[in-house]
Every structure is written in C-alpha cells, then in structure tokens.
C-alpha cells in the first residue's frame, strides 16, 4: 500500500517504479489467493470424482435461480468496478464515487441473496453437522458436498466483505481528494482484487449449482 500522505513513498525513486511495484505485488497476492481457493477446489473435485451420483443429488438441492441471479449481480458489479477504474483514470471524482457506490450496492445485494440461500439451507436441515438431514443412501457423501458448498461460498463471501471494506476506504480517500488522473493506482489494484473475487464465483457457480443439471 502506498503512503497516502505523500503519493511517493520514500523507498521508491519515482511514481512509475512505485506503480509497477504495487501492481506486481497485487498480482502475486492474487496468485496466493488462487492457491488458497485451489486447495478447496481440489478437495471438492476429488470427492466429486469419487461420488458423482451423490454430488449430483445434493447439487439439485441448491436454488439454481437464485444462483443465476447472483451470478448476474456479481458480473454487473465487475462492470461498475471497471467503470470506476476508468473514471479514476480520467480524473472524474464524482463518477468514481458513484461507480464505487454502485459496486458496493451490487456486492451487498449478492451477499443478501447468499444469506437468503443459507437460510433456506438451514430450514431444509442441509447445514453439515449434527442437525444435517438428507434422505437416501447418499447422506454421508451429500454432507461432504454441503461442507464444501458452505466452506467455498463462505470463503468467497468473506472475500467480498473485505472487498466492500476496501471500496469504502476508496470512497473516503476520493472524497478527501487523494486521487487524480496522475495518481489513482489504489483504485486500479482494488479493481484487480474485485475482479478476482468475481472470477472465483464464475467457477463456483457451475461447479456447485450446475454440476449435474442436464
């Protein structure tokens, strides 16, 4: 993170070097995130390979309509984020703030719908643990599916909450007049992060909701 009191931090020679360093740092951070989610994707895939029938059956208990709506909401938030970055590049503070607010709003809608889905799962007794209830011979394997469903979507939601926090900070900084057409890379790298979180969902949606819906 750059020093906000003066745009150029003391260890760098010029803004260009600082900009390159910060964005390389963000890309490396995203690489670590891929490995982090990768562990869960691996676990999911291994069990999916061993128990395809149970995974299909469990997956049909997810609400594909809400999932699809949420996918649309999240992709729209990526669009508003991209527009926010463009506004920052052009130096338009007002539009930047508006697009950041739009991104926060869409992100919150996503989290709200996700919460609704979690509540449905709670009512249907599909939350893994002692209250888990699933009819049929595949109950154990289905519980594995739901463990991964909750861990993966939960981790994803956690990343979105962090992202929304970052947006709030960006709005405050914009209102203080910290960004200009010449200095806006905090907006850019926050955008990278937000797009990454979206892309994770783009993989989660088909794997969890559409895995056996033919």
Partner 1 sequence: MSSETIRLYREHYLNCSYGVRSWLLTKDHKRIALLFLISITLFFFLGGAFAVLIRLELLTPQGDLVESETYNKLFTMHGIIMIFFFLIPSIPTVLGNFLLPMMIGARDLAFPRLNLLSWYIFSLGGLFTLGAVISGGVDTGWTFYTPYSSTYANTHVIATAVGIFITGFSSILTGLNFIVTTHKMRAPGLTWFRLPLFVWSNYATALIMVLGTPVIAITLLLVGIERGFHVGIFDPKLGGDPLLFQHLFWFYSHPAVYIMILPGMGVISELVTCFSRKRIFGYEFVAFASLAIAVLGFLVWGHHMFVSGQSPYAGMIFSFLSFLVAIPSAVKVFNWTATLYKGSISFDAPMLYALGFIGLFTVGGLTGLFLATLAVDVHVTDTYFVVAHFHYIMVGGMVMAYLGGIHFWWPKISGKLYPETWARFAALVVFVGFNLTFFPQFILGYLGMPRRYHAYPPEFQVLNVMSTAGASILAVGYLLPMAYLVWSMRYGKAATDNPWDATGLEWQTPSPPPTENFADTPVVTWEAYDYGAKEDKEKEPQVA
Q: Which residues form the interface with partner 1 (CB under 8 A)? A: 1, 9-13, 17, 20-21, 24-25, 28-29, 31-33, 35-40, 42-43, 46-47, 50-51, 54, 128-130, 140-141, 143-144, 146-148, 150-151
Q: Taking the CA of residue 92 as centre, how many other CA atoms within 13 Å lie in the half-sphere pointing to its CB?
A: 12
**Closest CB to partner 1 among 20 and 124?**
20
Q: Identify which of 181, 21, 19 has the alpha carbon closest to the alpha carbon of residue 95.
A: 181
| Shortest CB 82 distance to partner 1, Å | 25
Q: Are 119 and 63 in contact (CB under 8 A)?
A: no
**Closest CB to partner 1 among 72 and 129?**
129
**Closest CB to partner 1 among 109 and 188?**
188
What length does the chain have?
A: 214
| Shortest CB 126 distance to partner 1, Å | 11
| Shortest CB 75 distance to partner 1, Å | 25
Please provide residue 125's backbone torsions phi and psi, each rounded to the nearest 5 degrees: 55, 45
How is 95-116 classified by DSSP, letter by letter?
HHHHHHHHHHHHHHHHHHHHHH
Q: What angle do CA 72, 24, 82 make, to 5 degrees?
A: 25
Q: Taking the CA of residue 208 as centre, how many other CA atoms within 13 Å lie in the half-sphere pointing to its CB?
A: 28
| Shortest CB 110 distance to partner 1, Å | 22
**Closest CB to partner 1 among 76 and 150?**
150
**Closest CB to partner 1 among 72 and 137?**
137
| Shortest CB 155 distance to partner 1, Å | 8
């Amino acid at each position: 993170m750059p020093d906000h009191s003066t745009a150029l931090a003391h260890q760098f020679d010029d803004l260009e070097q600082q900009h390159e360093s910060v964005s390389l740092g963000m890309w490396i951070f995203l690489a670590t995130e891929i490995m982090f989610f990768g562990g869960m994707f691996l676990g999911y895939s291994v069990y999916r390979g061993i128990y395809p029938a149970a995974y299909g059956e469990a997956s049909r208990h997810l609400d594909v309509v809400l999932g699809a709506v949420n996918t649309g909401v999240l992709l729209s938030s990526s669009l508003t984020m991209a527009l926010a970055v463009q506004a920052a590049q052009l130096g338009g503070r007002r539009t930047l703030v508006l697009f950041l607010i739009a991104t926060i709003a869409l992100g919150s809608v996503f989290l709200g719908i996700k919460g609704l889905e979690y509540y449905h799962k709670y009512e249907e007794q599909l939350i893994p643990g002692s209250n888990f209830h699933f009819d049929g011979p595949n109950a154990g394997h289905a519980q594995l599916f739901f463990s991964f469903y909750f861990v993966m979507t939960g981790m994803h939601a956690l990343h979105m909450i962090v992202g929304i926090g970052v947006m709030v900070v960006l709005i405050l900084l914009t209102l203080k007049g910290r960004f200009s057409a010449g200095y806006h890379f905090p907006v850019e790298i926050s955008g990278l992060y937000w797009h990454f979180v979206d892309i994770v969902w783009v993989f989660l949606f088909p794997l969890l909701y559409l895995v056996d819906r033919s």
